[in-house]
């Protein structure tokens, strides 16, 4: 056979394989952490792992600075508590766009593509708190983008939870917008359509499984082991496809069959609940990545939408109102270390964060001679877990099976690390604790007694530390510090 013919076949085979695989991944970067990774390290972590799109939940200065000229496309978010002000004032919207979009685009080289107005503002649990302000805020932000000359390149959208639609028939073809917000959703969707913007939706198969003990477990995953759900001529083998196509049906019923959709959040937590563990998280996220690499959409929308994995790294200061799992969604731990292997395609595997600096290798644990029957012990454990993250101690979690002494040691250590191992922090427990240099982690590493990031050493390496830590992190950290001081006093 002619060599040139063989080369041509090989070339087109390789080209076809390259076109089949995704050019990059998208992720969410949350910054609700007491000891956040330096933004420059997070950006390098994303690039090393093939993430070229990121969604931020707020216009964090440190994150945006680090994303400048990185080649990563950005969706920058506006928190729900800002919606009322933006809804009532076009001027406020113009100032926000000027400070958080125009400035970073023109002065810092940040490739901002979307503004996310609010975050799941129509959740039923919010009891209509943001129902009246979201759409006007969206309109004002869009007007501000147009006035700034950015209306063509930067699109305003609203990340919504999948509870904004449902199906009366129980199958995707019966999908429609929730009755109590139907008119609002139609108006919002029309506005997005008229401005060439996508609808952003968050889909969480984990929450479907977590909320319903009778939910078929395999239907939450992508590997085809579930009993199929038949909807007319379409067969569904996983809840993600069924959920997405329920939204597609709702759009079709209301005259917006071709509106683009972005998946703003989808993922699986690795701790904090019986169904939240590294094995199930790996099963889900590997299946999701395989679909992205294959470019495979859903039965009603075969073309793959942008999918933002939730999330990149754990956040130990997030609210746990929905559940302890909220602090464990990352595919990386809080320090950028790998939780479980993922095949990213093209022979790539996950790469851990580089250049992370830690506090000294020492832990605060319950003293060997401390009495487990000490009447002050429960109160001291409660104190530690009020100001530090003890969610891994919950039922079904990675440290949920510890004995009483180890349980206390875990709580003491989390407090000690959250307090930056400061002098006196381990002495908070009334002679029941001691510092050790022997790692007390258990079960082959599944119950991790962490050592925190040394934020002080990272801060010294920056030219301007004040703008690098988000407000939530500062308040979370100093709130803990002040309460500890109050207790000491």
Annotated catalytic residues are 120, 265
Q: Give the whole-angstrom CA distance, residue 32 versus residue 334.
A: 10
Report how far residue 264's alpha carbon sits from residue 244's, in angstroms, rounded to the nearest whole number.
12
**Calpha distance 432→7 (Å, rounded):** 72
Say how many CA atoms lie within 13 Å of 436 toward its Cβ.
17
Residue labelled with tokens 């988000």:
470
Sheet holding 307-309, edge to edge: 155-157, 111-117, 73-78, 51-56, 25-29, 307-309, 261-266, 199-202, 159-161
- Under DSSP, is residue 75 helix (H, G, I), strand (E, B) or coil? strand
Which residue is it, tokens 């680090």? 66
For residue 454, count other CB atoms closer than 10 A to its CB. 17
Report how far apart, in Å, the C-alpha atoms of 225 and of each of 21, 121, 221, 222, 305 are. Answer: 24, 34, 8, 8, 24
Closest-CA residue to 362 (of 274, 450, 480, 289): 450
25: left (phi over 0), alpha (psi -120 to 50) or beta: beta
Q: How many CA atoms lie within 13 A of 346 on its CB side?
A: 15
CA–CA separation, 477 and 471 (whole Å) = 10
3-state class (DSSP) for residue 259: coil
> In 3D, which of 265, 313, 317 has the Cα closest to residue 472?
317
Find out whether the peptide bond into 311 is cis, omega within 30 degrees of 0.
Answer: yes
Q: What is the DSSP letter of 358?
A: B
Q: Are 54 and 61 in contact (CB under 8 A)?
A: no
Tokens of residue 226, six digits: 């579930």
- The residue behind tokens 């076009």 is 90
Query: Exposure of 39 by Cβ count < 10 A (0-12 exposed, 13-18 middle, 19+ buried)?
Result: buried
H/E run at residue 340: none
User: 139-149 in b/e burial notation, b at 16+ Cβ within 10 A?
Assistant: bbbbbbbeebe
């Amino acid at each position: 056979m002619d060599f040139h013919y063989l080369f041509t076949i090989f070339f087109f085979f390789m080209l076809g394989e390259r076109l089949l695989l995704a050019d990059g991944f998208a992720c969410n970067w949350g910054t609700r952490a007491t000891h956040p990774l330096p933004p420059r390290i997070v950006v390098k972590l994303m690039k090393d792992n093939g993430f070229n799109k990121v969604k931020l939940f707020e216009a964090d200065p440190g994150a945006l600075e680090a994303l400048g000229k990185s080649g990563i496309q950005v969706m920058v978010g506006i928190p729900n508590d800002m919606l009322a002000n933006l809804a009532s004032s076009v001027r406020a919207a113009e100032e926000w766009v000027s400070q958080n979009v125009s400035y970073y685009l023109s002065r810092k080289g940040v490739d901002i593509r979307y503004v996310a107005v609010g975050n799941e503002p129509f959740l039923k649990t919010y009891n209509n708190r943001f129902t009246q302000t979201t759409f006007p805020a969206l309109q004002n932000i869009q007007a501000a983008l147009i006035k700034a000359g950015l209306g063509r390149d930067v699109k305003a959208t609203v990340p919504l939870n999948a509870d904004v639609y449902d199906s009366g028939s129980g199958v995707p073809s019966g999908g429609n917008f929730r009755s109590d917000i139907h008119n609002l959703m139609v108006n919002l969707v029309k506005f997005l359509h008229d401005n060439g913007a996508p609808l952003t939706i968050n889909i969480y198969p984990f929450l479907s499984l977590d909320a319903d003990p009778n939910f078929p477990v395999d239907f939450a995953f992508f590997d085809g082991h579930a009993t199929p759900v038949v909807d007319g001529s379409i067969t569904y083998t996983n809840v993600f496809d069924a959920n997405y196509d329920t939204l597609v049906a709702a759009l079709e019923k209301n005259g917006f069959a071709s509106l683009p959709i972005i998946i703003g959040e989808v993922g699986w937590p690795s701790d904090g609940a019986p169904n939240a563990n590294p094995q199930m998280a790996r099963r889900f996220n590997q299946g999701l990545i395989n679909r992205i690499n294959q470019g495979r959409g859903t039965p009603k929308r075969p073309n793959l939408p942008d999918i933002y994995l939730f999330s990149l790294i754990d956040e130990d200061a997030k609210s746990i109102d929905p559940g302890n799992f909220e602090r464990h969604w990352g595919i990386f731990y809080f320090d950028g270390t790998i939780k479980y292997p993922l095949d990213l395609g093209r022979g790539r595997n996950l790469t851990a964060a580089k250049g992370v600096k830690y506090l000294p290798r020492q832990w605060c644990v319950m003293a060997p001679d401390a009495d487990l029957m000490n009447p002050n012990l429960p109160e001291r454990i409660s104190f530690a877990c009020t100001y530090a993250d003890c969610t891994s101690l919950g039922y079904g979690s990675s440290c949920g099976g510890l004995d009483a002494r180890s349980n206390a040691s875990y709580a003491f250590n989390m407090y000690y690390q959250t307090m930056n191992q400061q002098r006196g922090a381990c002495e908070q427990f009334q002679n029941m604790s001691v510092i050790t240099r022997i790692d007390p982690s258990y079960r082959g590493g599944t119950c991790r007694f962490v050592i925190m990031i040394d934020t002080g050493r990272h801060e010294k390496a920056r030219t301007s530390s004040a703008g690098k830590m988000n407000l939530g992190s500062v308040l979370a950290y100093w709130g803990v510090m002040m309460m500890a001081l109050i207790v000491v006093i």
